Amino acid sequence: MKEYKFTINGHDYTVTVGAIEGNRASVNVNGTDYQVTLPSSAASSVPAARPVAAAAPAPAAASTPAPAAAGAGSVVAPLPGVVLSIAVKPGDVVKASDPVVVLEAMKMENAIPAGRDGKVIAVNVKEGESVLEGATLVTLG
């Protein structure tokens, strides 16, 4: 395993790259495990990984989280990005389709909807902050 330390937009990330098999790699970012798919050109330049005896199975690949599941209390980032704007404040009442946060990812603005009707309990991010996929943006009650 190789470990890397990155600082992106003022935030520190520790990235550990585990087993690489074909075009799939096990990666851990700040304590969260991910299964990533490498581009075919990158996969061909990576030597095949040898299995390690008694290695724990890699966690199942997680699908992209929904903005908020019905009945859930959190609006989560469906992709990593930078918070451009926040459209709500604690105490606001929102409908499921109301945008609560705008994220910039890969030079595109993404309006993140509340996902369910509710009242904003907390805003967990600030403008300009970098967030990872799955980070809680807003808590709804």
Per-residue model confidence as pLDDT tens digits over 49-96:
555 444 455 554 444 444 434 335 899 999 899 999 999 999 999 999
Range list for CATH 2.40.50.100 in the chain: 74-140
Residue 33: pLDDT above 80? Answer: yes
Please, is 100 exposed, middle or buried when counting C-beta atoms within 10 Å of its C-beta (0-12, 13-18, 19+)? Answer: buried
Say if strands 118-123 and 32-37 run parallel, antiparallel, or are unpaired.
unpaired
Q: Which residue has the higher pLDDT, 32 or 122?
A: 122
Amino acid 139: pLDDT: 93
**Does the pLDDT of residue 117 top 90, yes or no?**
yes
**pLDDT of amino acid 8:** 78
Question: Where would I find the beta strands (DSSP E) of the chain?
Answer: 2-8, 11-21, 24-29, 32-37, 74-76, 81-86, 93-94, 99-105, 108-113, 118-123, 130-131, 136-140
Q: What is the CATH number of domain 74-140?
A: 2.40.50.100
How large a percentage of the chain has pLDDT more than 90?
41
